[in-house]
Amino acid sequence: MAKVVVIGAGFAGHTAALYLGSRIGRKHEVTVISNRDVFGYVPSWVWVGVGHMKPEKTIFKLKPVYDKMNVKFIHAAAKEIHPDAGNQYVLGDEVGTGKEVRLDYDYLVIAPGPLLNFAGMPGLGPENGFTHSICSLPHAIKTRDAYLALCERMKKGEKVKIVIGTGHPAATCQGAAFEYIVNVHKDLVKKGLRDKADILWLSNEPAVGDFGVNGVQIKRNGHLMRSEEFLTSVFNDHGIRYQVKTGVTKVEEGKSHWQNYEGEEGVTEFDFSMLIPQFKGQPFKYIGKDGEDISSKMVNPAGFVLVDGKYGLPYPELAQTPDAWPARYQNPAYKNVFAAGIAFAPPGPISKPFTNKNNLAIAPAPPRTGMVSGMIGRVVALNIADLIEKGEMTHSEPMTEMVAACIASMGDSLWDGNAVTIVMRPVVPDRKTYQNEFGRDLFTSHLEMGVSGAWMKFMLHHTFIWKFKARPGWTIIPE
Amino acid sequence: MQTSQEFSKAEKFWMNFKLYQFWRFIVLNLKILAAVYQSKRS
Ligand SMILES: Cc1cc2nc3c(=O)[nH]c(=O)nc-3n(C[C@H](O)[C@H](O)[C@H](O)COP(=O)(O)OP(=O)(O)OC[C@H]3O[C@@H](n4cnc5c(N)ncnc54)[C@H](O)[C@@H]3O)c2cc1C
């Protein structure tokens, strides 16, 4: 009997666990170790952050799902990985008791999502800083409370400054911040308070609508349309000011310090700010059989797990080398260790990085969205099942071949809400297969805005929670 | 950095015209499903 351990139960880890449970759970031992005993449907935290969705609507208990899927659940925070042959195990601390737990494995999936690196930017974040976040459920709740308190001040006639975007020159996840800024706008319009707020989009993207993926480009009726023009229109229409090519360098109470591409330094004042932090890998200890630190074989300096990508290529070469992107998410040093979701180390950025004259690199990191994370979780799970049953892997899916759909909410109302529906093929440009300057299939890729998007977003919330609860038909719902 | 680009009145009309949007909802669902199933999903 083989033992498979999955660290983390988010989009990647939970998807992997469901597929592993259904393929091999009856004959082999599949165990999930997660520091939270609930699954969190992260995309809807945007709505939690404006007070439009109750937090409990975005979570459900994991154990009942795993019980039915033949998966063991351990409610503990993993802390150490010992991958050397003969004695391979994960150590963690049980939540509540602090008791140390040891999980032996034959195959390991590392999928603990990002470490939110607020510590990497002075003054950033809701715990020790002055900005808010929607990257975890407790953060989204705190953000909601601060936002609603701000609304109370506005109701009394106060004019306020709201700044939303990225809080680090190398931050990713601009899509979530974009959804939040537009949802704040819509909510203020509904409350009759929009004229009391000056709203600014402050971002490290090279252009509006870049989203860390070099933008989205489509062909419609023979014309090329780019996400830059599209999203600029959104901001102008909504009276949202924008400042891109900007890396935040420090935050103080009510003030964001920044530098831009030109190397200019500036300060933007705010009454309320939601800035996405830099993401890093979870700080696990990787320990060899003699107790030595073997991190360099397992992770890159940011803590993301090294997999079957080609690392170290300069950006211009990487942009022309689709094969540099991993396909199986397997660690090259330890072939029974896989990484899924945000945890794997991408070979480099997708958007063009920039270093200004003060040597500050302003470069969005590549996003690994929920859909991408789920797809990787599935590929990893199916390959592990293959290895156990047939001795060889038969699945692969690099981001240069993946199609991703993303619905960016712009107000949750089913009557007058709105959303931008984005389809990207592939997520990472492949300039060999698609011989245009963008490296994308401009016919399949899609960009559209309308109330139908709000319906889609609502539908996705319910469909995905259905899927993640492994209810009937869950496998036919795409990741 | 700001430009004056905005959606036209006609574009805004279609974005909120429910019957047309219902049609787009169906098309978008099919488009996404087709794209996902065309991709490897190996
Ligand atoms: C506000 C917001 C909105 C978003 N909207 C969208 C969207 O609309 N569409 C989309 O595609 N993507 C969206 N994303 C991105 C998407 O949420 C992420 O890409 C996705 O959650 C990444 O999945 P993951 O499994 O890698 O990490 P996570 O979902 O973060 O899951 C990681 C899991 O590991 C657990 N864990 C952490 N540390 C440990 C430890 N030490 N031991 C054990 N377990 C641990 C965590 O508790 C968590 O359950 C959004 C992100 C945010 C923040």
- Provide the CATH number for the domain around residue A43: 3.50.50.60
State the average pLDDT for chain A.
96
Q: ∠ CA(A468), CA(A474), CA(A477), 5° rounding?
A: 100
Model pLDDT for residues A228-271, shown as the tens digit of each residue: 999 999 999 999 999 999 999 999 999 999 999 999 999 999 99
Q: Describe chain A by its helix, strand, coil percentages, rounded to 5.
A: 30, 25, 45
Asked if residue A33 is part of any domain, the answer here is: yes
The H or E element that residue A140 is part of is helix A137-155
Q: Nearest to residue A345, comparing CAs of A321, A326, A360?
A: A326
Residue A376 resides in a domain? yes
Model confidence at B1, pLDDT cuts 50, 70, 90, reads low
Q: What is the rounded average pLDDT of the residues B13-37?
A: 91
**Closest CB from A242, A395, A425 relative to B2:** A242
Task: Return the pLDDT at B3.
Answer: 67
Q: How large is the average pLDDT for residues A31-41? A: 98
Q: Which domain holds residue A351?
A: 3-116+279-389
Kindly state if the Cβ of A33 falls inside 6 Å of ligand 1.
Answer: yes
Name the pairing type of β-strands A100-104 and A89-94: antiparallel
Q: What is the mean pLDDT of residues A300-307?
A: 98
Per-residue pLDDT, B40: 60
Residues of B in contact with A452 (CB under 8 A): 21-22, 24-25, 28
Answer yes or no: is A319 within a domain: yes
How many Cβ pairs closer than 8 A exist between chain A and B?
Answer: 84
| Residue % of chain A over a pLDDT of 70 | 100
Average pLDDT over residues A333-346: 98
Give yes or no for B6 touching A (CB within 8 A). Answer: yes
Amino acid B35: pLDDT: 82
Does the beta carbon of A8 lie inside 6 Å of ligand 1?
yes
What are the residues whose beta carbons fall under 8 Å from the beta carbon of A189, sequence distance 6 or more?
Answer: none
Residue B6: its pLDDT value, please?
83
User: What pTM value is reported for the model?
Assistant: 0.96
Examine residue A292 and state whether it is found in any structural domain, yes or no: yes
Distance A11 CA to ligand 1 centre (A): 6
The residue of chain A nearest to residue B29, with distances taken between CA atoms, is: A456
Q: Is A338 inside a domain boundary?
A: yes
Tell me whether the omega of the peptide bond preceding residue A367 falls within 30 degrees of 0, making it cis.
no
Per the domain annotation, does A437 fall within a domain? no
Work out how many domains chain A is built from and give that number.
1
B41 contact residues in A (CB cutoff 8 A)? 375, 397, 478
Residues in CB range of A341: below 8 A, 6 or more apart? A8, A10, A11, A12, A13, A111, A113, A368, A372, A373, A376, A377
Residue A14 maps to a domain: yes
Which residues pair with residue A115 across a beta bridge?
Answer: A280
- What is the per-residue pLDDT for B42? 53
Residue A450 forms contact with B (CB below 8 Å): yes
Q: Is residue A61 part of a domain?
A: yes
pLDDT for res A222: 84
Quote the tokens at residue A131: 């900005």
Select the residue of A234, A244, A395 nearest B42 (Cβ to Cβ). A395
Residue B41's pLDDT band (boundaries 50, 70, 90)? low
Say how far apart CA B31 and CA B25 lie, in whole Å: 10
pLDDT single digits (tens) A144-193 = 999 999 999 999 999 999 999 999 999 999 999 999 999 999 999 999 99
For residue B9, is pLDDT > 60? yes
> What average pLDDT score do residues A10-22 get?
98
The preferred substitution site among A75, A115, A166, A369 for testing ligand 1, maximizing ligand atoms within 8 Å of CB, is A369
A229 to B5: CB separation less than 8 angstroms, yes or no? yes
Pocket test for ligand 1, best of A5, A7, A11, A423 (most atoms within 8 A of CB): A11
pLDDT at residue A412 in the model: 86
Q: For residue A16, what are the CA distances in angstroms to A21, A39, A112, A230, A338?
A: 8, 13, 12, 35, 11
| Share of residues in chain A with pLDDT > 90 (%) | 94
**Structure ipTM over 0.85, yes or no:** yes
